[in-house]
Amino acid sequence: MRTPKAGFIVDDTMRRDQPYLWQRPKNGVYYVIYYTDPPNVQKRMESLKTRDRATAQDRLYIWRQEKLLERQTGIRRVGVPLFDAIKEYLTHHSKRYKPASTHRYKNALDNILRFVGKELPIGALQAKDLQDYQLHRIAKDRKPRTVDFELDVMRSFLNWARRRDWAKVNVADNEHVERLLSKKRHQSSTEKRIFTDEELKILLAPSDGMWWQYTYIFALLYYTGLRIGELSHLTVKDTSLPRREIRIREKTLRVPVLSRQLGKVISAEVHWTPKWYEERIVPIEDRLVPALEEFQKRRTENIYNLYFLGSLGTMITDHLSRAVKSLTDKTDVSVHTFRHTHISHALNRWGRHSTVVQKWVGHKHLATTEIYVHVSVEDLHREAKKVGD
């Protein structure tokens, strides 16, 4: 018998008809098939959302324990200790993001755990606990920005737990726990820094001493608005010039990672999903096509089938921000500024509708897209010239 995780009863006794695994032929996803009460009446199917049979077997075992726990106590997994739930969340997080990001999330959640208690059930966590934690951290002379980040991490964790029915509500959301700093929807704090026309001219032109791929990467980021994580996990299969589209999708692939311990690039398997788990199609503009056609002639194939690779043979990450700062001689810009600039220009210069831009760039809410509807000084001068003509 498998060793169960904390919070589960060690007993495989189920109703007469045992659930079993079934693999859907088309997409290879495993499902649990079982019968509802009364037995042998209605056939149901529950997705395990995995292509790995070993993982599917583990999920099936956990599913059995959860069903047994529900029948015996009437309590769902909201009773699992926070420590165990967070441990599983960090395992999930490490498969999607860089180790440094997971380490920051772990430190933030560990600080909250030490305050509320590791054995506290996830369903017993209240908004008052997190409000008291804010006061506790302020008394320790922690910066408000640091405290807001820790609560943002907790909010992300509880959203993940709520999607799995481990928590009924997210007690860390803005309705329950307010941020210490200005809210993001406040206009003065949400106006995004975008590149000026002069900065774009420098970034989109080839430069001596710069990695030759950067020019094509910057052009792709500017004309598509991709996030850096979406670009770094972009494969050759995801990009189609004949169809003029880029597909952002969930995928499992091997990627090159620089190991500091070994001092060399190693291969690692990651399961990457888009933000909010939403797949989308990003059209390729006609202005971008010549640059991509030229890049495809110059690029060489790699064993990972990635569309872009860094100068060290590793993935393209936000280290590009150093090149952006160096070329523009500015410190308040980063590689993510390309995304801000794309959305702002799409709304204010290129005449695209806000709902189209929302789907194009992958925003969950239209209000997030409308933040970028601010007119720059350059836009004012451009319109003034049109009136003068």
Q: Does 14 fall in a domain?
A: no
Are residues 261 and 280 both part of a single domain?
Answer: yes
Pairing relationship of beta strands 239-240 and 30-35 according to DSSP bridges: unpaired
Q: What is the CA radius of gyration of the chain?
A: 25
CA geometry: angle 77, 83, 88, nearest 5 deg: 70
Are residues 263 and 340 both part of a single domain?
Answer: yes
Pairwise CA distance, residues 78 & 153, whole Å: 19
Are residues 158 and 269 both part of a single domain?
Answer: no
Report yes or no: 74 and 83 within 8 Å, Cβ to Cβ: no
Alpha helices in the chain, H assignment, sequence order: 53-73, 82-94, 99-116, 127-139, 144-163, 187-190, 197-203, 214-224, 228-232, 289-298, 320-328, 337-348, 354-361, 366-370, 377-388
- For residue 381, the model assigns a pLDDT of 66
Q: Does 321 fall in a domain?
A: yes
String of DSSP letters for 53-79:
HHHHHHHHHHHHHHHHHHHHHS--GGG
Question: Which of 143, 163, 183 is the C-terminal boundary of a domain?
Answer: 163
CATH code of the domain containing 344: 1.10.443.10
Q: What residues make up the domain containing 47?
A: 20-75
Cis peptide before 38 (omega within 30 of 0): yes
Pairwise CA distance, residues 242 & 245, whole Å: 8
- For residue 73, the model assigns a pLDDT of 54
Are residues 33 and 152 both part of a single domain?
Answer: no
Question: Which of 31, 52, 75 is the C-terminal boundary of a domain?
Answer: 75
Q: Does 187 fall in a domain?
A: no
Q: Does 88 fall in a domain?
A: yes
Are residues 232 and 114 both part of a single domain?
Answer: no
**255: helix, strand or coil:** strand
Q: Which of 68, 62, 20 is nearest to 164 (CA)?
A: 62
Count of domains for the chain:
3
Are residues 64 and 129 both part of a single domain?
Answer: no
Are residues 136 and 236 both part of a single domain?
Answer: no
Report yes or no: 342 and 361 within 8 Å, Cβ to Cβ: yes
Question: Which of 111, 146, 163 is the C-terminal boundary of a domain?
Answer: 163
C-alpha dist (Å) from residue 26 to 30, 48, 300:
11, 15, 32
Sheet strand arrangement including 30-35 = 20-23, 30-35, 43-47
Q: Does 175 fall in a domain?
A: no
Q: Does 181 fall in a domain?
A: no
Are residues 44 and 121 both part of a single domain?
Answer: no
Are residues 239 and 329 both part of a single domain?
Answer: yes
Number of neighbouring beta carbons within 10 Å of residue 274: 18
Are residues 251 and 144 both part of a single domain?
Answer: no
Beta bridge partners, 248, equal 280
Alpha helices in 172-225, H assignment, sequence order: 187-190, 197-203, 214-224
Summarize pLDDT for 297-319 with one digit per residue, the tens.
Answer: 999 999 999 999 988 888 898 88
Q: Does 355 fall in a domain?
A: yes
- For residue 378, the model assigns a pLDDT of 67
| Regions of the chain short of the pLDDT cut 70 | 1-20, 24-28, 33-51, 62-63, 65-79, 98, 182-190, 374-389
Q: Does 145 fall in a domain?
A: yes
- For residue 78, the model assigns a pLDDT of 55
Are residues 208 and 71 both part of a single domain?
Answer: no
Are residues 63 and 88 both part of a single domain?
Answer: no
- For residue 372, the model assigns a pLDDT of 85
